[in-house]
Amino acid sequence: RYRYRAEAEKMVVVHSYRPHWPDELELSPGDVILVLSKHEEERWFGRLQGGQQGYFPASCVMELSQVNLPPKALRRSSSARDNNSGARSRQGE
């Protein structure tokens, strides 16, 4: 039996989707979406970072922790800069 989480989950879009109905979201790979409702198994309701809300196929998204490529919003990660600055400081010693 599948249990739904009470709190919203952040997911990343892995497959693009063009809406077929006015209440659906257009999705592009790398978009981050906050899943607000999973009342239906195959069709969820959520909010994109731009504020748009609507339904979308659950098959188009994955949990952020399961995705190898970072989503658009996370590409400016500080970890890459930290690694580069650390390498420079070691070379200067």
Is 74:59 a contact under the CB 8 Å cutoff? no
Over residues 24-65, the pLDDT tens digits come to 999 999 999 999 999 889 999 999 999 999 999 999 999 987
What does 63-88 look like in DSSP terms, one character per residue?
EGGG-SSPPGGGTT-HHHHHHHHHHH
8 Å CB contact between 16 and 70: no
What does the block give as tokens for 82?
Answer: 């930290």
pLDDT band at 69 (very low <50, low <70, confident <90, very high): low
